[in-house]
Chain A
Amino acid sequence: MKVKMMSRNPDNYVRETKLQQHKLPRNYDPSLHPLEGPREYVRALNATKLDRVFAKPFVCNLSGHRDGVSCFGKHPKLLSALATGAYDGEVRIWDLANRLSVRSFVAHNGFVRGIAYAKNGERIFTVGDDKTIKVWNSLAPEVGEEEEPVNTVQSRYGLHGISHNRKDNSFATCGEVCAIWDEQHNDPLKTLKWGVDTLHTISYNPVETNVLACCASDRSIILYDQREAQPLRRVVLTMKSNKLAWNPMEAFNFTVANEDCNLYTFDTRKLQTPLKVHFDHVSAVTDVDYAPTGREFVSASYDKTIRIYHAHQSHSRDIYHTKRMQHVVCVAWSLDNRYIFSGSDEMNVRMWKSNASEKLGIIRPRERSNFNYQEALKEKYAAHPQIKRIARHRQVPRHVLNAQRKMRAVKEKDQVKEGNVRKHSKPGRVPYVSEKKKHVLKEEV
């Protein structure tokens, strides 16, 4: 009998060092993989499930404030620094890496209304209910020294918000009027006024740095150019806008957090209709902040939740909440696109992961490639019902669900009524109005 020996070249399967991975000769001939589709589908399913299993977005709680947190200030250069202001006038500077409050001082009598870092992060500007703008050094004072502002500016008008220009030394405050200030002067360079209503939030465009926008209590959004003597334009919505955030990557887009549970993304050049209406919150939206990539934003709401939206989609991608988190007042997205900070009524600042199931810490290349593969699979099979169901399944507090139910009922009722009215009136009398157009009352020139 002839015995045929099987001989293989050991180079093909023996690794040279212990650290090397085993060589796995593969044959990519598709006829040898008849079930590649189903296999990938199962992998995608498993990846989605694992994603939900590991979805633990809450990182830590920064406690220390003795009153509700009112505003955030992001350091433009340092990722580990965050300034927060509270209702009792206290400002705290946090070391996020160590989850510590490194510095705290009482800045104002009454609320701290706004905090802004200067363009290089050396100074902190705070405005409060006491009509003052205070300038602080971003470095903590020496051990023996007292905490004192570098400069205090008494404003003629009430102040509700502050925003610093990203590129030059000017900053802007809002209140009774919109005022443009220079860091070197104690008087505003310019005051811009349109109407008599209070402006409660202001925001500089981070890209086109001469443009800024305010939200007024008469439900309007006003655009300004800091070089012009006059405001530029005003849009009036059906309800008051609470906060405004510019897209850092798309200079002409901004999003407002509205009192009517929605967020609206506008294009500055076309203010008659918002580009997108972002639904899903069940109570007034209090704050909004863009991710530095400009693809997503986070919103805080009075309904005690935070939601993350794609900038061009109308429904939220994720919802964050904890049992103890009360009305969320302010929210910020860290400049490395990894974390989200939320400040709420119950005196806590919370830190979340921007991607709920992301692994923190060092990720090895193999791990990375596997994560990438899983991501790609999830994306590929995103439309499949089982995967969609698992990926979008969320537990929410009962009150949110109830409110949602209520809102849905109201909406359905309205729709039915509108339908009935339409049915019983002359055709064409009751027009179909798109959801986008419903919320903008007028654009004033």
Chain B
Amino acid sequence: MEDGEEHHNPKAHKKLLMAIGSFGNIQHIQKSTRDERQTLQDEFQLGKSVRSAESHHKPRAVVLNDLVQILRTSSKHIKTGRKLKNIQSTKKVLEKPLEKPAADRIRRTIGYEGVTKKLGRWDAVVAQQRSAETQIFPIPSETIYVNTAAHAKSLKTSIQSALAKELEASKLKLHELRKAQIGDTADEKALAQQERELRQKKITRDELFARRKELAYLKMRESQKSAKSRMQNKIKSKKFHKLQKRQKIHEQMKEFELLQKTNPEAALEKLNALEKIRVQERASLRHKNTGTWAKNLQMRAKYDRDVRKDLAEQLAVGRQLTEKKQESDSETEFKMTQDVHEEEDKEYDPFNPWTKRKEAGKAPTEKAGSHVSNWRKYWTERNQKAKFLEEHRKDLKDVQHVENVDVVEEKLKSDPKPKPSMKKVKKSKVSFENGWEVEKVYHESNVTGESKIIDNIFEGREEKLRAKLTKKLENLKLRTDRLKKAPAKSKKVKKDSLKNLKDLAIKMTKQRVEVDEPLYYEIESQQQVDAANMESDPEVAVDSAVDIIDLSKVTTLVWAQKERSSGALNDALVNDDDAEYDEKDATTLHQLTISQAFEDDDIIADFNREKTKDSEVKNTELQLAMPGWGSWAGAGISQEVMERRNKRNTRLLLRLAAPEKRRDDNKDNLFINETSTKHARQHMVSSVPFPFRSLADYEASIRAPIGRNFVPETAFRMLTRPSVITRKGQVIEPMDDSDLVKPERRLRHIVDKRIKRLPKVPQNSQKAKK
């Protein structure tokens, strides 16, 4: 044994065992080699995979814990071990992959969804094709125009070059001449350079796009701004406009100041403009409380503090606007006038607007003529009086301040004494202002009673309005509630994958009758006989067609049906309808006149009599007995006996059959002529055919004639255009991608994106702009 152990080489032994163990697993069939790529492996070409020798007794899989255990042995690695353990406990293990059938199912659904989406692209094109009145095949495709001129080489013929040379020479000569004569100093070289640069400065396509986009963007901004301003103009709030104007003025002032420093000429121009505005304001009656608005307000001013304030403000505005703003500019003049107005100045109260206004009112009369020269002065003295401008600015500020103070003062004044003060203010106005104001006040005092009534009316109106508003609000609430509920319902509705196609379907402008019925079959063997029948049949049909047209027979029918306004379908065939409708009016008119003419005659009774005419005939008993028959015994037989005998004797009494029940029995003013339509009936449509919903639609489709004899040639061509046009000998290709509506291009450039993001300018504003 020991010997054996000595000899025993564990490695070799293991190898041997392995070899024995894998004895059955030797791969006899070699894997096939192919030079062609292959996705699917053939089962016959696959060798079995070699199993490991240990596969019989499965070794326990190595788990992370084992590793941790090992790591724990050395103190060095305890930390890492712990970390590992932590990781194991915190990190999730991936789930087992799905079973193959389930995974396949998911893959299939995803693929199917992709394909349906792809196919959905065609909805619009298909819907359009279906609804097209005429389809042309092959589908006319997009034409691509290539600029062949871009690739054309310039001609290099001797003639041209000679010509060019000549031209150049002549040009040169011309230039020289010019130089000699006029002294044209234009530098040719520089010009040429410029031209070359311009020529070289070709814009790339992208640049062009970008530039165009930018331009469009600017335009859009502009239109937006204009739209905004228009909207603002529409705002009715007075206060808003007031503020707006004030702000504008403020801005202008600022601008003006800036201009003074930077560009005095422009500033001067502006100043003149301001002056002009002032003059205009003075000339107009604006801000003088003479408008309807002011008048209306004056009525209410007595009772309303705010209104009074508004009026005062309005006046202040007028004052401000008519204020001479460049007293400082023409100081000399001012000085001159100062003497004259010395006394007035004494009275002058800086906080009293009225006095100031008076002064200002006088001044312009003199200044109107001189103000043109003002700016010249300004121009000449501009350099000297640079500081002066600043002063002027200060002045302006002061003036503004003063005015503000004025307004405040007035407010203060009016505040403590609400009702009586109103009159006072008015009166004070009278003393300063024009006479008509006074009258106004008197008038107002007379009107107080009326105004009260008006107030009442206003209040009533307001209440009504309020009530209306609340009602509307409630309605709106209800509607929104309903809307909120609606989507919940629609969720339940099954998703229709063809919804898009259905939605896209356009109602055809010209509907066509669709006859979707089985064919009328007949056995082929009878063909000859049938053919013969057919031959004879058409004539009959034609005859009958002629029959219906016989107006004398049809008229009663038409009339009767018109009264009922149904069955008009049939006479669409029989008569031309347009004419008929006119006819109808005409007939009714005609009848009216007739009825007026024969008022005494009982037409209706006549009509009814006609209706019952044949039935009367039918309902009678005819006595066939001749006088003297059955009375051979001589005279003297009583009448009763005779009658009895006659009744019993059926031979002598002819009883006609009872009348058939008429369709129009219970309808007084209707007469259905049942005999006249027999032939026509087989040519008449009994029900509204398929795509049509209403009789009127169908009649309309049939009414208009399409023949050459009845409509002009162009209309004829249009009306008889076939629904499908194909060309002989041309292959009709299936629909192509180029027929699709292209999706929007993805934008890369920032500007493009920005433009895309811009809200669209509302349509109405665009229209207004136009």
Bound CA–CA A42/B549 (angstroms): 11
Kindly identify which residue among B521, B527, B701, B706 contacts A404, using a CB–CB cutoff of 8 Å.
B521
Give min CB distance, A354 to chain B, whole Å: 10
Kindly identify which residue among B702, B717, B722, B734 contacts A207, using a CB–CB cutoff of 8 Å.
B734
Sorted nearest first, the 8 A-B pairs with minimum C-beta distance are A292-B732, A248-B734, A383-B689, A206-B734, A269-B497, A252-B119, A376-B720, A313-B516
Question: Contacts of A337 on B, CB cut-off 8 Å?
Answer: 137, 724, 726, 732
Take A26-B709, A250-B122 as given contacts and tell me if A379 and B512 are in contact as well, using a CB distance cutoff of 8 Å: yes
**Any chain A CB within 8 A of the CB of B182?**
no
Take A33-B710, A231-B108 as given contacts and tell me if A315 and B115 are in contact as well, using a CB distance cutoff of 8 Å: no
Q: Scoring A residues 319 to 339 as 1 if CB is less than 8 Å from chain B, else 0, what string do you get?
A: 100000000000000011110
Give min CB distance, B451 to chain A, whole Å: 67
**Any chain B CB within 8 A of the CB of A417?**
no
Is B126 within 8 A of A249, CB to CB?
yes
**Any chain A CB within 8 A of the CB of B42?**
yes
**Any chain B CB within 8 A of the CB of A59?**
no
Nearest opposing residue in chain B for A373, CB measure: B720
Is B729 within 8 A of A336, CB to CB?
yes
Give min CB distance, B427 to chain A, whole Å: 81
Bound CA–CA A130/B116 (angstroms): 37
Q: Scoring A residues 284 to 326 as 1 if CB is less than 8 Å from chain B, else 0, what string do you get?
A: 0000000011110000000000000010011110110000000
Kindly identify which residue among A41, A267, A336 contacts B731, using a CB–CB cutoff of 8 Å.
A336
Take A293-B726, A373-B720 as given contacts and tell me if A384 and B573 are in contact as well, using a CB distance cutoff of 8 Å: yes
Bound CA–CA A314/B690 (angstroms): 13
A/B interface sample: 8 pairs, CB < 8 A = A37-B572, A166-B734, A270-B497, A292-B731, A376-B720, A386-B541, A391-B515, A396-B524
Is B683 within 8 A of A30, CB to CB?
no
Nearest opposing residue in chain B for A377, CB measure: B706
Is A232 within 8 A of B112, CB to CB?
yes
Take A225-B114, A335-B731, A373-B716 as given contacts and tell me if A250 and B126 are in contact as well, using a CB distance cutoff of 8 Å: yes
Bound CA–CA A269/B122 (angstroms): 12
Binds B, one of A144-152, A182-190, A342-350, A426-434: A182-190
Kindly identify which residue among B39, B530, B682, B689 contacts A190, using a CB–CB cutoff of 8 Å.
B39
Kindly identify which residue among A267, A336, A375, A382 contacts B722, using a CB–CB cutoff of 8 Å.
A375
**Any chain B CB within 8 A of the CB of A45?**
yes
Query: In A156-180, which residues have CB < 8 Å from any B CB?
Result: 156, 166
Which B positions have Cβ atoms within 8 angstroms of A? Answer: 34, 36-40, 42, 104-105, 107-109, 111-112, 114-116, 118-120, 122, 126, 129, 135, 137, 496-498, 512-525, 527, 530, 538, 541-542, 545, 548-549, 572-579, 682-686, 689, 698, 701-703, 705-712, 716-717, 719-724, 726-736
Kindly identify which residue among B104, B105, B703, B724 contacts A295, using a CB–CB cutoff of 8 Å.
B724
Most buried by A among B115, B498, B716, B719: B115
Is B731 within 8 A of A385, CB to CB?
no
Question: Contacts of B541 on A, CB cut-off 8 Å?
Answer: 45, 386
Bound CA–CA A393/B538 (angstroms): 13
Question: Contacts of B735 on A, CB cut-off 8 Å?
Answer: 207, 248-251, 294
Q: How many residues of A contact B (CB 8 A)?
A: 96
Bound CA–CA A156/B661 (angstroms): 82
Bound CA–CA A211/B522 (angstroms): 43
Is A279 within 8 A of B707, CB to CB?
no
- List 13 other contacts, CB 8 Å, given A45-B545, A395-B522: A37-B575, A38-B574, A41-B545, A232-B115, A252-B120, A267-B498, A269-B497, A294-B735, A373-B720, A379-B723, A392-B520, A398-B525, A401-B522
Is B119 within 8 A of A336, CB to CB?
no
Kindly identify which residue among A230, A250, A279, A384 contacts B107, using a CB–CB cutoff of 8 Å.
A230
**Any chain B CB within 8 A of the CB of A280?**
yes
Bound CA–CA A211/B711 (angstroms): 50
Most buried by B among A267, A319, A336: A336
Question: Contacts of A43 on B, CB cut-off 8 Å?
Answer: 707
Question: Contacts of B710 on A, CB cut-off 8 Å?
Answer: 28, 30, 33, 36, 40
Take A372-B721, A380-B706 as given contacts and tell me if A292 and B137 are in contact as well, using a CB distance cutoff of 8 Å: yes
**Any chain B CB within 8 A of the CB of A388?**
yes
Is A232 within 8 A of B108, CB to CB?
yes
Most buried by A among B519, B575, B733, B736: B519
Bound CA–CA A232/B523 (angstroms): 46
Give min CB distance, B682 to chain A, whole Å: 6
Which A positions have Cβ atoms within 8 angstroms of B? Answer: 26, 28, 30-31, 33-43, 45, 49, 76-77, 79, 156, 166, 185-191, 206-208, 210-211, 223, 225, 228-233, 248-252, 267-270, 279-280, 292-295, 310, 313-316, 318-319, 335-338, 369, 372-373, 375-377, 379-386, 388-389, 391-398, 400-401, 404, 445
Give min CB distance, B733 to chain A, whole Å: 8
Kindly identify which residue among A187, A251, A314 contacts B122, using a CB–CB cutoff of 8 Å.
A251
Question: Contacts of B518 on A, CB cut-off 8 Å?
Answer: 279-280, 315-316
Is B513 within 8 A of A382, CB to CB?
yes
Give min CB distance, B137 to chain A, whole Å: 5
Bound CA–CA A84/B520 (angstroms): 34
Is A38 within 8 A of B545, CB to CB?
yes
Is B731 within 8 A of A77, CB to CB?
yes
Question: Contacts of A40 on B, CB cut-off 8 Å?
Answer: 705-707, 710
Question: Contacts of B523 on A, CB cut-off 8 Å?
Answer: 395-398, 401
Bound CA–CA A270/B703 (angstroms): 40
Bound CA–CA A166/B579 (angstroms): 57
Kindly identify which residue among B496, B548, B579 contacts A30, using a CB–CB cutoff of 8 Å.
B579
Is B42 within 8 A of A156, CB to CB?
yes
Is B730 within 8 A of A233, CB to CB?
no
Is A45 within 8 A of B514, CB to CB?
no
Is B36 within 8 A of A269, CB to CB?
no
Give min CB distance, B330 to chain A, whole Å: 83
Kindly identify which residue among A49, A207, A293 contacts B137, using a CB–CB cutoff of 8 Å.
A293
Most buried by A among B38, B686, B735, B736: B735
Take A31-B579, A37-B574, A77-B731 as given contacts and tell me if A373 and B706 are in contact as well, using a CB distance cutoff of 8 Å: yes
Most buried by A among B38, B122, B135, B527: B122
Kindly identify which residue among A166, A211, A379, A400 contacts B115, using a CB–CB cutoff of 8 Å.
A211
Is A230 within 8 A of B686, CB to CB?
no
Bound CA–CA A379/B698 (angstroms): 13
Give min CB distance, B393 to chain A, whole Å: 76
Bound CA–CA A86/B576 (angstroms): 59
Kindly identify which residue among B116, B521, B576, B730 contacts A268, using a CB–CB cutoff of 8 Å.
B116
Is B514 within 8 A of A389, CB to CB?
no
Take A223-B112, A314-B516 as given contacts and tell me if A30 and B38 are in contact as well, using a CB distance cutoff of 8 Å: no
Bound CA–CA A386/B540 (angstroms): 11
Is A384 within 8 A of B515, CB to CB?
no
Take A185-B37, A231-B108, A336-B726 as given contacts and tell me if A394 and B116 are in contact as well, using a CB distance cutoff of 8 Å: no
Nearest opposing residue in chain A for B737, CB measure: A207
Take A41-B545, A207-B734, A372-B721 as given contacts and tell me if A395 and B527 are in contact as well, using a CB distance cutoff of 8 Å: yes
Nearest opposing residue in chain B for A32, CB measure: B710
Nearest opposing residue in chain A for B524, CB measure: A395
Bound CA–CA A302/B592 (angstroms): 69
Is B573 within 8 A of A268, CB to CB?
no
Take A36-B709, A270-B498, A383-B689 as given contacts and tell me if A376 and B573 are in contact as well, using a CB distance cutoff of 8 Å: no
